[in-house]
């Protein structure tokens, strides 16, 4: 599994877009990029995943660099409920290695 690097924390204003970056320079060609988030006092929950192409779902968008060495999770309009720790994971198997993630603060 590839090591990922994320900023420790980020801050956003409510209803503004948020771009959460992740570097995974050692990713292999078959490793998927996953994002999970963990709300306070809860277990992590799946957000989105992708391999090469950009992906959209009801929660977020995932933009993957052409060389796949980095990706960005995009929350189109941050709400107070999006305040959480966001984990970027690059792996190909069923074992998931979580780093420290990015703690997102959302200001009203």
In contact, 49 and 34? CB cutoff 8 Å: yes
Q: How far is the CB of 74 from other proteins (least distance, A)?
A: 19
Q: How far is the CB of 15 from other proteins (least distance, A)?
A: 28
| Closer to other proteins by Cβ: residue 41 or 108 | 41
Q: How far is the CB of 25 from other proteins (least distance, A)?
A: 18
Supply the DSSP symbol for 92: S
| Closer to other proteins by Cβ: residue 10 or 14 | 10
Binding site for other proteins (CB under 8 A): 30-32, 34, 36, 41-46, 49, 51, 87, 91-101
| Closer to other proteins by Cβ: residue 14 or 32 | 32
In contact, 103 and 40? CB cutoff 8 Å: no
In contact, 30 and 1? CB cutoff 8 Å: no
| Closer to other proteins by Cβ: residue 20 or 101 | 101
Long-range (24+ apart) CB contacts under 8 A made by 62-66 are 62/33, 62/35, 64/33
């Amino acid at each position: 599994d590839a090591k990922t690097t994320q900023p420790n924390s980020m801050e956003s204003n409510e209803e503004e877009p948020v771009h959460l970056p992740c570097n995974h320079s050692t990713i292999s060609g078959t490793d998927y990029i996953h994002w999970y988030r963990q709300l306070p006092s809860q277990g992590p929950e799946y957000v989105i995943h992708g391999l090469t192409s950009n992906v959209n779902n009801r929660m977020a968008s995932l933009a993957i660099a052409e060389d796949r060495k980095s990706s960005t999770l995009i929350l189109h309009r941050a709400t107070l409920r999006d305040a959480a720790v966001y984990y970027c994971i690059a792996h190909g198997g069923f074992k998931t290695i979580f780093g420290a993630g990015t703690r997102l603060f959302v200001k009203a």
